[in-house]
Amino acid sequence: MDLLTSLKISASGLSANRKRIKAISSNIANAKTTRTAEGGPYRRKQVVFGAEPARESFSDILEGEINEKAQSVHATEVISDNSPPRPEYDPTHVDADEKGYVYYPDINVMEEMADMISAQRAYEANISAINAVKSMANKSLDIGK
């Protein structure tokens, strides 16, 4: 695998994890949102990842077996969680129903924070991979001196 393909794969990982972090941040920020424009409480967002070959041009396809196995990641879609909202009894809340229940999104902030840490570590791993490729490129240029 050449250096540019390695950079493309790591860059796709950075982009996908950035979208994941954005969705998790939205979930945390809206953990107590009881009313949205669509109606009802906020729905938890999840990012679905997919893989695709790390080839873009015809010459990339002809390069051989090593590049054939290389896959880049991308965020295929952002889906809303269909789990039912969590009812809490609070008759003084403005969005309480006739029985006094308020329906909050089914978001566990601790789970979201754990997902955020996981996404952050994956982002950092891709940055480390990019730095390793840059270091290898610099070392190869030094050999020619």
Tokens of 118: 């996981």
Q: What is the pLDDT of residue 41?
A: 92
Q: What is the pLDDT of residue 131?
A: 94
**pTM of the predicted model, to two decimals?**
0.80
| Whole-number Å distance between alpha carbons of 59 and 144 | 27
Q: What is the pLDDT of residue 2?
A: 76
Q: Which of 37, 28, 52 is nearest to 110 (CA)?
A: 28
Q: What is the pLDDT of residue 123?
A: 95
Angle at 138 between CA 15 and CA 6, to 5 degrees: 30
DSSP assigned state of 57 = S
Q: What is the pLDDT of residues 74-113, one digit of tens each?
A: 888 999 998 999 999 999 999 899 999 999 999 999 999 9
Q: Which of 23, 30, 5, 36 is nearest to 79 (CA)?
A: 23
| Whole-number Å distance between alpha carbons of 133 and 12 | 15
| Whole-number Å distance between alpha carbons of 109 and 24 | 10
Residues of the chain with pLDDT under 50: 65-66
12 and 125 Cβ atoms separated by less than 8 Å: no
Residue spans per domain, the chain = 3-143
Q: What is the pLDDT of residue 42?
A: 93
| Whole-number Å distance between alpha carbons of 76 and 49 | 6
Q: Which of 74, 32, 84 is nearest to 54 (CA)?
A: 74
Burial class (CB in 10 A: 0-12, 13-18, 19+), 8: middle
